[in-house]
Structure 1
């Protein structure tokens, strides 16, 4: 028997018997074997200790490579499960995947885990790592797996196998040492010692078996995990900074908005918060005008028959709210697109009219699970800076490239300099033939190439009606947020009867481009608050200037100054309280006010103001007219 292994550089080597990735790595160099995490075999990640028994192209994946990180995190989940069962006998394990920044594992246990338990569990995990237990892969028949878990009191595992695995199938089992095992697809590291120390348990929360609230309640322990200790420290520092910037905390401090149980996932905007909203909305509205959009407004509820025609009923109805009147069922709109098609359909359009660009600050409602709600970042009632472009297929490229330029300018104006572009492709659950999806995806690729944009692709992440470009913005502490989208839709216009008359007097179905720069206004404002740590730029600040008299004799002059600032279009207030000026300065600094205009008897006599800027110790005294003009120019 001869097995031919092909290496990434094209070199080949033959072996007389099955060979493991670890043995191959050791043959290349002991250093490579020590750093190796898994091996890539014909494009599939395998355990280093799994025998390669066929001709294959392989690549040794070291733990510093991105492909190894999910394996490392999955190992951390298994070590967590072993630690819990060693410390708390009788606890049942369910499942524990890797996550974006770490891992979690769900456990069935009557007694709740505590914060003190997390510290104890993490310590035991580190002990298991120090033991350097070998991790071995075995393959068992289905019935053997069921019998094993039943004998060991693991009813959840036994149930999952019995109901989800066919009678003739085999299941991979991973042992850590001699006493602990779990079923898993793998791959895993060769031993627990390879996991390293760059992990930390962070919290415990509730979960349900199979994610169904009707099933047994479980306890989920979350952890974070990275390839190196330095990466872990950087992440924990970022989390600490994120907690300081939490938009919910800053909203209370700055009196921006609140939420309450009587309206879950909805927002009560206070005057200052609504001032931020209006600043954002008016800015976006100005970009609409500059780029040829016509602003429209559609109904909040539409007969359910329209949502069935559009495809939302089959693909999205579980996320929608419904209401009834006079024996008719209506859906509260989760999206604005079907309404915009109705506005388009109200008139007859020629090819000469295209493209037609509609925009709407559209109020939408989506039935998000209560456990997924998070401040104003994820809500049930929200407003989109939504827009739809009706165009020909030939107009897709110039419209997409124009939108890209527009979006990049908008993000820069709001203070975001790092933007990643991604292309989300056809999902499993979708409408439209594959040929249509091929055309739509190629159209977006061509537009991105024309715009000179580098992008990455996300298979399966598109909307049910079309692929989409996504804009992912990195904030000031390194977190990535997905905001704007541009989606190509060949299906919905035809389903809803949209047409135009072409140059040969024939009826054609237009292409519909769904676009948004900010996405949800609520979510974007939450991101803005955290990005700027509440210290919003002057033009976005809900109160831009506070006029504070040093003595009560200057109160009348302070009121005059405030009136002039307001007449110049600035959001200004007076602080006439009988408090010392240093107290007022400290308090308004905590309120993140960009500018304080301080006035006293001398300023009143000279018709001047002393300006003090946020975050700066220096101040300057200017003639009143010059001060007002300067501030008005920066708004």
Structure 2
């Protein structure tokens, strides 16, 4: 999952005269020094964040960065990571330091320690951190004069020494490691107590808050194993995760959001609602859908199929496995092999002496559907009159995700993509992209997601094929289509696939979390590699442009996102059981069976609970199972040929004539109402 960037804020600008500090200028300008809006760092004219102790050599105008901004929170979190490391080394003096960058909503720090940290250790570390923060230690930046000086000072920190050596050499340093060594000079941040004594220090680029009291609210969250520099061949370290915010209220809000996210966790709800499971016998990242989950999935797919038919797509099917030569042609074996399952060597034939009579060949489970669609396109000659040709498939693909990143339905090894490939002429490209983006957004809205922004992923300069001109044309075509949508467009430099740039739709769920949903890619490369052609109006043979499009991304992932978005209380049109009849007594069962028959005739999925439990327990059971409509019947209802409605929120409408009840419930489902029915909203339906 990703996070939507906040809208740009109009940060106050401050002039910092030469020879004075940014902090003095901020104070002189009357900007806050306490509370959530306290200025913690400034941004200089080149866009770099600077400590408030920074003193420019010439007059300069800077932007004040408040604690409540994303940049301000990041600085607070990195400062909290230093406090954590100080606390660890004070309580575990043998601990060696890894790295400690800020991350989304928090921070972490890696340590080499003799024994894994326990929950009791985290409590002790939190207590020590609070003492450090309360003492008001100053973060003081100090430049190291040379690589040799750094090596001497860090002689007892082997992992820091490695980073220093990397900086002095030619090996690349990743983003988190840059927090330690920086891109230019080497610096240390000392923690200085109120007596002016240095009590701890860490190799770090910075910046940091002025002192520890600028860390008003934090919490240590958990411990995990981590490998040094992310390489499993390296030493395993202990990683402590924490979170830090500009106020206690914001921390509490974040912790409540995490608690709600845990309650909505699709893995938990999948088991509670009997939707899907991950049997050990099948394998990691390979879900099976139970009958109730199967109903939801079928409803999702059926509606998607209907919309695609209306939009002029043609349905195709392709096998799950293919000869490796196909992926050699597409380039996937060059660029994507690490993400594919290993080859199966088949078809070899030997004679009675064991000599190879016919060599075998490698077959692969497909990670993508697109090469198969190219073969369908190429199966016969094509005319410009057939274009745009829109091919669509619910195609199952398999990707070898590492076990550490497999996560429920949202990161699986076997998935079904709602995959489309559109072949068009250059003149059709822009209109096709705009209509395609409109189609994608409207279909997502139909499922109840309606808060979007777009990401434009551009070429990775170290991993691409094709020429500069086609990449530029493709990128600008996507940019124009995205901008015409009116949605915010956020750059994602280097995020494109090897064959073409991409727009991705980022959708916000009910908890404000952002998920990557649909993707649209423009591809000049694969049509060239597969020699795809069409006959132009002048009789010449031309190469089509290919658009790749996955709308849900994968059915499995979209299912997981919707489960959490609705907290398992799916809209009635998707709910596996849309209504349950509950009699007050057994003699009312026949009446409810007649109601159920009328509902089934309208396509409504309805059950009757004729079990031995008391009515109130049945209501609790089916409310827990998040059934949208409970139909209650007692003697008065039977006599009046009516039913009473009970809803998920506990509200109720009594004595609704059966014909009106059936018609209203059917209308609610057929129009794909995504809100959960209540007595108030459904009363309007009955009016």
Does TM, normalized by the shorter one, top 0.5? Answer: yes
Cα distance change on mapping 1:350 and 1:232 into 2, 3 Å:
same
Aligned residue-pair number: 623
Q: Shift in Å at residue 602 of structure 1?
A: 5.7
Alpha-carbon separation, structure 2, partners of 1:417 and 1:628: 30
Alpha-carbon separation, structure 2, partners of 1:496 and 1:187: 51
Q: Shift in Å at residue 320 of structure 1?
A: 0.8
Query: Are residue 631 (structure 1) and residue 661 (structure 2) matched?
Result: no
Q: Shift in Å at residue 323 of structure 1?
A: 2.8
User: What residue is the counterpart of 1:48 in the other structure?
Assistant: 52
Which of residues 286, 307, 311 in structure 2 aligns to 1:287? 307
User: What residue is the counterpart of 1:239 in the other structure?
Assistant: 258
Contact 1:146 1:158 in 2 (8 A): yes
Matches within 5 A, 1:32-431: 35-53=39-57, 58-140=62-144, 141-150=146-155, 152=156, 154-163=157-166, 165-166=168-169, 171-177=186-192, 178-194=198-214, 196-262=215-281, 263-324=283-344, 325-326=346-347, 327-428=360-461, 429-431=463-465
Contact 1:147 1:158 in 2 (8 A): no
Contact 1:203 1:221 in 2 (8 A): yes
Cα distance change on mapping 1:432 and 1:193 into 2, 3 Å:
farther
What secondary structure sits across from 2:90 in the alignment?
helix
What secondary structure sits across from 1:104 in the alignment?
strand
Cα distance change on mapping 1:187 and 1:41 into 2, 3 Å:
farther
CA root-mean-square deviation: 2.6
Which of residues 456, 472, 479 in structure 1 aligns to 2:513? 479
Contact 1:21 1:60 in 2 (8 A): no
Q: Shift in Å at residue 614 of structure 1?
A: 2.7
Which 10-residue stretch deviates more, 469-478 or 47-56?
47-56
What secondary structure sits across from 2:496 in the alignment?
coil
Which 10-residue stretch deviates more, 96-105 or 431-440?
431-440
Deviations 1:476-525 (A, max 9, x none): 12211111111112222212222222222222221111112211211111
Deviations 1:115-153 (A, max 9, x none): 222122122222222222222223332233233333x2x
Contact 1:36 1:63 in 2 (8 A): yes
Contact 2:394 2:419 in 1 (8 A): yes
Alpha-carbon separation, structure 1, partners of 2:496 and 2:594: 56
Alpha-carbon separation, structure 1, partners of 2:466 and 2:101: 33
Cα distance change on mapping 1:144 and 1:330 into 2, 3 Å:
farther
Query: Are residue 25 (structure 1) and residue 29 (structure 2) matched?
Result: no
Alpha-carbon separation, structure 2, partners of 1:430 and 1:126: 49
Q: Shift in Å at residue 424 of structure 1?
A: 2.1
Cα distance change on mapping 1:62 and 1:356 into 2, 3 Å:
same
What secondary structure sits across from 2:63 in the alignment?
strand
Cα distance change on mapping 1:75 and 1:309 into 2, 3 Å:
farther
User: What residue is the counterpart of 1:594 in the other structure?
Assistant: 628
What secondary structure sits across from 1:482 in the alignment?
strand
Cα distance change on mapping 1:410 and 1:261 into 2, 3 Å:
same
Alpha-carbon separation, structure 1, partners of 2:437 and 2:266: 28
Contact 2:14 2:63 in 1 (8 A): no
Alpha-carbon separation, structure 1, partners of 2:640 and 2:267: 43
Instruction: List alignment gaps of at least 5 residues for structure 1.
Output: 1-7
Q: Shift in Å at residue 20 of structure 1?
A: 4.1
What secondary structure sits across from 1:390 in the alignment?
strand
Cα distance change on mapping 1:296 and 1:54 into 2, 3 Å:
farther
Q: Shift in Å at residue 357 of structure 1?
A: 0.7
Query: Are residue 506 (structure 1) and residue 510 (structure 2) matched?
Result: no
Cα distance change on mapping 1:408 and 1:303 into 2, 3 Å:
same
Deviations 1:47-80 (A, max 9, x none): 3334434686643333333333322222121111
What secondary structure sits across from 1:476 in the alignment?
coil
What secondary structure sits across from 1:515 in the alignment?
strand
Alpha-carbon separation, structure 1, partners of 2:595 and 2:438: 40
Alpha-carbon separation, structure 2, partners of 1:65 and 1:363: 42
User: What residue is the counterpart of 1:532 in the other structure?
Assistant: 566
Alpha-carbon separation, structure 2, partners of 1:38 and 1:10: 9
Contact 1:42 1:56 in 2 (8 A): no
TM-score (norm 2): 0.85
Which 10-residue stretch deviates more, 23-32 or 211-220?
23-32
Q: Shift in Å at residue 14 of structure 1?
A: 6.6
Contact 2:12 2:63 in 1 (8 A): no
Contact 1:21 1:39 in 2 (8 A): no
Q: Shift in Å at residue 591 of structure 1?
A: 0.8
Deviations 1:136-190 (A, max 9, x none): 223332233233333x2x2222234335532998522222221322222322223
Alpha-carbon separation, structure 1, partners of 2:617 and 2:26: 67
Cα distance change on mapping 1:125 and 1:436 into 2, 3 Å:
farther
Alpha-carbon separation, structure 1, partners of 2:254 and 2:385: 54
User: What residue is the counterpart of 1:3 in the other structure?
Assistant: none
Contact 2:388 2:428 in 1 (8 A): yes
Contact 2:41 2:207 in 1 (8 A): no
Which 10-residue stretch deviates more, 625-634 or 212-221?
625-634
Which 10-residue stretch deviates more, 612-621 or 237-246?
612-621
Deviations 1:322-373 (A, max 9, x none): 2321221122112211121111111211222111111111111111121112
Instruction: List alignment gaps of at least 5 residues for structure 2.
Output: 1-10, 172-183, 193-197, 348-359, 670-687
Alpha-carbon separation, structure 2, partners of 1:115 and 1:330: 48
User: What residue is the counterpart of 1:5 in the other structure?
Assistant: none
Cα distance change on mapping 1:111 and 1:600 into 2, 3 Å:
same
Alpha-carbon separation, structure 2, partners of 1:217 and 1:125: 25
Alpha-carbon separation, structure 1, partners of 2:14 and 2:617: 74
